[in-house]
Copies of this chain bind each other. A is one copy, B any other.
């Protein structure tokens, strides 16, 4: 409850959180504020300027006022987490990079390698020349590139969970076909939204959305392609009547017969050294990982398929805490610093 940031010694970096008035930005601000080795240099927003963040989000105990992002703020910082909407993010990231800041970008702007694919799903890209330097920040699958990167594209929440569920199979060439059924809490839909996000329309409800096409599909396909699986995938997301939490089921037709014990052994081995990923005996609940950077993965056969289920907190590992995990690596800090 104290107003001074609880730092251990000299901070490793002064960090701006830009876009801190949204759900992911506000959480990123809290994580940086509580981080023993990062100084929260400023929280900025395009709206709500002048509001203290702990008034806008009492649950995030960050006693700083939201400011407007400007050159002075950027020049005074070493790094930034940018939580802007897609298309709005790229020019801000470009300016920050131009002034030497290390940046983790939570938007989709630097996730897709191919600007044509980005344009097809999102919008014209204002900074395509930055795509080459951006590392894709699914930490566990791309740790070495993240470590050396100065710009990290933080993955989408669905791709994070889907790829942690699928990677052990994809890496072994065991996927012939995959269907992804994903469920998420309402915080994944972000602020705004009007009556669609009204409590009354979501309480005691559950439904699929964007059944025919969702922007996270090309992101998942890009990651699978890098692991050797190049077929189109089916991906259907849902909203559930809860705040935070995400459960992603991947139904895989395997390229050879597999039994549950072999699968468990594969996943147990793959994630043995990972500080935040655990292969679980029982199907995970989203409450098990709420308010943490953890991902619990469960694998088994079910009828003729293999099913791999990943549970994460969409706001944490699916967004803000994974951003801090990546920033830790970029700054040479212990990857787990400031995280649970």
How many chain A residues touch the partner (CB < 8 A)?
A: 80
Q: Which of B233, B244, B305, B311 has a CB less than 8 Å from the CB of A303?
A: B233
Q: How far is the CB of A313 from chain B (nearest CB, A)?
A: 11
Closest chain-B Cβ to A185's Cβ sits at a distance in Å of: 8
Q: Which of A224-262 contact B (CB under 8 A)?
A: 231-236, 238, 240-245, 247, 249, 251, 253, 260
A72 at the interface (CB under 8 A from B): no
Do B302 and A234 touch (CB < 8 A)?
Answer: yes
Q: Which B residue's beta carbon lies closest to that of A213? A: B302
Tell me if A207 and B285 are in contact (CB < 8 A): yes
Task: Determine if B294 and A291 form an interchain contact, defined as CB atoms under 8 angstroms apart.
Answer: no
Closest-CB distance, A26 to chain B (whole angstroms): 11
**Cβ of A92 under 8 Å from chain B:** no
Interface residues of A (CB under 8 A from B): 1-2, 23, 58-59, 61, 177, 179, 181, 183, 185-187, 191-195, 197-209, 211-213, 217, 231-236, 238, 240-245, 247, 249, 251, 253, 260, 275-276, 278, 283-292, 294, 296, 298, 300-305, 307, 309, 311, 336, 340
